[in-house]
Chains A and B, each alone.
Chain A
């Protein structure tokens, strides 16, 4: 059973701790560097990548702008295909639905396809409380689950672990969860993958209930799509008698042909491959093939809140590729845990406040500031989410939520700056004392700011003073004693 993000400190504090971990920084730099190079290579193969991004953004935007109609249509087509559709306003409702289905089949365990949404709602923990074991079957999720750890990346939740650490987790923890790791386990990735195969196979073969998310849900045809690599997804989607898929309402696309830009954009952006090894597509129940009882849980859990935000709603286009994490200079250094959410990195910095709302807890309110606004995330986003603009807007919303009461030092400083910069005479007075001010700040300034930054020496003369003295550089200024102000 995995840990929980509940009670995580705000980003700056969590980041400081992460930055001190040199093993973590080494693992992250290596992994993100590898994936960035792979992505760049396969994206460069596509001549009209930018057009493809526009098409991908349009597919999602069109469905979102018409979401109520699309959802009703999806419910109709899924039902016609033999699936049972459930609706869940929040995590508790969704968890109760899944637990209810498992209990109706007297299942003591379920096998799970890697799914962000079931992590978001804490499904494993909720099922454990009902006495049902939820086995993660994706290799990285298995590493996180066995290690009683937290996910730190959307695509590769165990990105913070290197091969030696993974070997140790398998060696010490596999036995308690089922088939133990072999005695001769080495830290070769192929050997570790083989150990995971053997460990999970008995679970796949006996599972009665499978649980998944979905990458896409096609409204017109009642079709769900899961994109994966290892085959654990195919196992969970094919072998159990009962399948429950928890689907965020933003996963809907209108038409079958809308999958075209998405299936070209996602693998190249995500794992840096032309295509991921396996994509499963199913429309409800197929007699004689795969699960004969199929459930779909349509989940809100803050998505309608995000949809109501005119700037932020574009975040609902996200297809969870994690390209923005891999290019982010902040993520590369702090890793995912510092964001205190299953959605880390630039997308997490906007998605969490959008889903939860700002002004309620310091952790969420700190996330829009976890960025240098360099814009690399926007550049790589396959559905063109303008993350920097949303970050700035979210910052404004955080500031607005904290108006009234005792102003923060930053707010006081900004007020002061506005006053000084509002009149040139005020500015020139302040300019004369800049040198003195710098010396004072260096000595008595706030440690959190000064401790990590060098304050420059103030020049002896301001630009405006120099301009007045030398007539814009046309004289040497010797005829005047000093610059005068207007």
Chain B
């Protein structure tokens, strides 16, 4: 008996024998201009559409805005967060899932924001931390800089590195499984608070 790999590949080759591999154009259309103030506005609008909280502020206000957004309870931050969060637990990779479950909030940065779809992409670099810390706590405060916002999905794909793990986030956790009505708040953070910061880092 041949092994499964050999047999499956042989079946594939047999199935395709005689059908030519036609070159197919796969470039998807793109219709938005490069990032402009309008693109950043659209991003803020589309993120808010998912019933996330969106606040815009200047870099100098950021620390206060974060402090105001934090719920009662403990907060965890990734090791490379560029903004100071007083009394936060800095994740050193040893917190277990059960320990994270007792933490109320997490503050992270992001890799890219997608205006058209209102999506924030984390690539879990040191300013965002490992995946578990932005998943288990019930409130996620996410800092996105205006210069990180791109118009649409293809722009984000071009910027992102597939070797890194990624989490694409479009609003708080939600489900449409009961009569196809959207309800926010299932397993992921039930509150997504986005702070959109003007200017560059």
Contact = CB atoms under 8 A, between A and B. Distances in A.
Given A234-B188, A259-B157, A283 B165 contact: yes
Contacts of B184: 190
A332 B14 CA distance: 38
Given A68-B9, A189-B183, A289 B117 contact: no
B8 A304 contact: yes
Interface stretch (B80-88, B142-150, B166-174): B166-174
A283 B130 contact: no
Interface in B152-170: 152-154, 157-158, 162-170
A257 interface: yes
A230 B175 contact: yes
A137 interface: yes
A235 B13 contact: no
A278 interface: yes
Interface string B118-146: 11000010000011100110000000000
B176 A274 contact: no
Interface stretch (B19-27, B54-62, B65-73, B193-201): B19-27
Nearest to B50: A277
A55 B185 contact: no
Interface in B11-41: 11-16, 19, 21-22, 24-29, 31
A234 B181 contact: no
B101 A205 contact: yes
Given A34-B180, A234-B188, A62 B24 contact: yes
B187 A234 contact: yes
Given A156-B177, A158-B177, A281-B165, A257 B157 contact: yes
Given A67-B12, A260-B154, A300-B8, A278 B167 contact: yes
A67 B16 contact: yes
A467 to B, nearest CB: 49
A277 B174 contact: yes
A48 B28 CA distance: 10
B122 to A, nearest CB: 10
A261 B29 CA distance: 8
A281 to B, nearest CB: 4
User: Chain B interface secondary structure, helix, strand, loop or mixed?
Assistant: loop
Interface string A146-187: 000000000010110011001000000000000000000000
A261 B27 CA distance: 8
Given A66-B21, A197-B186, A304-B15, A31 B179 contact: yes
Given A221-B163, A281-B168, A260 B131 contact: no
Interface centre among A52, A81, A277 (most CB of B within 10 A): A277
Nearest to B171: A277
Given A68-B12, A234-B135, A34 B181 contact: yes
Contact of B9 (A71, A193, A223, A290): A71
Contacts of B183: 189-190, 193
B12 A277 contact: no
Contacts of A65: 16, 19, 21-22
B173 A278 contact: yes
A194 interface: yes
Contacts of B64: none
Interface centre among B11, B154, B171, B179 (most CB of A within 10 A): B179
A81 B26 CA distance: 26
Nearest to B178: A189
Interface residues of A, number: 97
A89 B7 contact: yes
A290 B22 CA distance: 40
Contacts of A201: 101, 187
Contact of A279 (B7, B116, B124, B167): B167
A278 B184 CA distance: 13
A259 B186 CA distance: 26
Contact of B27 (A55, A279, A286): A55
Given A204-B97, A278-B168, A229 B118 contact: no
A409 to B, nearest CB: 36
A249 B188 CA distance: 30
A156 B180 contact: yes
B173 A260 contact: no
Given A193-B175, A229-B175, A304 B12 contact: yes
A72 B185 CA distance: 40
A274 B167 contact: no
Interface string A266-289: 010001011111111111001011
Contact of B178 (A48, A58, A62, A139): A139
A55 B176 contact: no
Interface in A189-232: 189-190, 192-194, 196-197, 200-201, 204-205, 218, 221, 223, 229-232
Given A58-B26, A280-B166, A256 B186 contact: no
Interface in A16-70: 27, 30-31, 34-35, 38, 47-48, 51-52, 55-56, 58-59, 61-62, 65-68
B170 A93 contact: no
A140 B124 contact: no
A85 to B, nearest CB: 9
Nearest to B11: A304
Given A66-B21, A260-B28, A307-B16, A290 B130 contact: yes
B157 A260 contact: yes
Contacts of B163: 81, 221, 283
B169 to A, nearest CB: 6
Nearest to A190: B183
A289 to B, nearest CB: 4
Interface string A306-329: 011010010000000000000000
B129 to A, nearest CB: 9
Contacts of A102: none
Contacts of A78: none
11 contacts: A51-B29, A71-B9, A75-B5, A86-B4, A88-B4, A189-B181, A230-B187, A239-B132, A239-B136, A279-B168, A289-B131
Given A193-B185, A289-B131, A304-B15, 5 more contacts: A55-B25, A61-B24, A201-B187, A205-B98, A239-B132
